[in-house]
Amino acid sequence: MNDTKKPLLAIEALHTRFHTQDGVVNAVDGVDFNVYQGETLGLVGESGCGKSVTALSILQLLRCPPAEIQGNIRFEGVNLLNLDQEAIRKVRGSAISMIFQEPMTSLNPVLTIGEQISEAVRLHEGMRYQEAWKWAVNMLQMVQISGPRARAREYPHKLSGGMRQRAMIAMALSCNPQLLLADEPTTALDVTIQAQIMDIMVRLKEEFKTAIVLITHDLGVIAEMASRVVVMYAGKVVEEAPVKDLFKDPRHPYTRGLLGSIPVIGHKAQTGRRLQEIPGIVPRPLETPLGCRFHPRCSSVMDICRKQEPPMIHLTEYRRVNCWLEAS
């Protein structure tokens, strides 16, 4: 593994709060993890656990106020949170890029595909219009869009969801960023298209040596693509592990619950066991429970879990769990 390397992105004690009328919402509450050059890190968790907000905080795409970002986000040693607006704008797209969940709405309906892709290279690489256009067509070819020349002249309404997501990937990768934040890139697509998009992302990752932070709630996608996994729950990291270890030996009860709730075809017939679920729902952001945030839903809850927040236990260099079970 990349043990000797310095991390490309190091997030330390990231807190993102939203000041709302009902009170302060701690969407991200002390998250830390590293992303190394060229790797794919999976960021997993249920809806509302702060995965997307973490990604948006890295690029500072949140409107502040109401949002407030604290902590350190070091990208190649530079703390992004100390940069001014103009400096962070130059980082966006050229060094760190992002793709979004909704391919249907993430392209501007009044601009052609080519215009939208070439915009980034014109901006960051100072390319001329013609040159940038050729670059855009080239990028469309890379993401396997047929007839890229004609497609570049078309408006988004003529493209299917899968094609739009490919165009989004082309746009995000057009300046060859070192880090790509992929926020549920395949959630809105059907399964066959999902596989194609994943394929393209893996190939481009190899080609461009881009590191990817893959945000998803789909553990199948994680198993396929990620090398390491960070599991988040209610704004906190609850477990981090290399992908194989996580699937083989999940340590946090929440991770176990997540893995247990994946349906396996034929499973019930063979073992007579029902599909497991995690009881309850994610706590509401304004009512985070005392002690361990997962304790109301935890199957192996102990007394101490209700009173004190669990410590982060480092099992090995690459594994850590935020649970009292490991502390004893």
Q: Which of 12, 46, 119, 218 binds other proteins (CB under 8 A)?
A: 119
- Residue 100 binds other proteins, judged by CB under 8 A: yes
Going by the DSSP 8-state scheme, the letter that residue 273 receives in this structure is P
Q: Residue 191, class by beta-carbon neighbours within 10 Å (0-12 exposed, 13-18 middle, 19+ buried)? A: exposed
* Contacting residue, 79, 105, 261, 300, with other proteins by CB under 8 A: 105
Which one of residues 120, 142, 143, 225 is an interface residue with other proteins (CB under 8 A)? 120
Of residues 131, 135, 130, the one with CA closest to residue 175: 135
Residues 38 and 205: their CA atoms lie apart, in Å, by 7
Site for other proteins in 26-55 (CB under 8 A): none
In the complex, minimum distance from the CB of residue 66 to other proteins, in angstroms, rounded to a whole number: 11
- The sign of the torsion formed by the CA atoms of 314, 315, 317, 318 equals negative
- Distance in Å, CB of 105 to other proteins, minimum: 5
CA distances from 47 to 50, 97, 103, 143 (A): 8, 22, 18, 29
CB 153 to other proteins: min, Å: 8
Does 192 help bind other proteins (rule: CB under 8 A)? no
Closer residue to other proteins (CB): 82 or 108: 108
- Residue 53, token pair as written in the block: 């907000």
Residue from 23, 147, 220, 279 binding other proteins (CB under 8 A): 147
Give, as one character, the DSSP assignment of residue 92: B
Interacting residues of 159 by C-beta distance below 8 A, sequence separation 6+: 107, 113, 151, 167
Residue selected from 52, 54, 106, 178 as contacting other proteins according to rule CB under 8 A: 106
Selected from 26, 57, 97, 194, the binder of other proteins by CB under 8 A is: 97
Helices (H), 100-252: 113-124, 129-142, 148-152, 161-173, 191-208, 219-225, 243-248
Q: Site map for other proteins, 56-85, x if CB under 8 A? A: ---x-x-x----------------------
Catalog residues that contact other proteins under the rule CB under 8 A. Answer: 59, 61, 63, 89-94, 97-100, 102, 105-111, 116, 119-120, 123-124, 146-147, 149-150, 155, 157-158, 160, 168, 171-172, 174-175
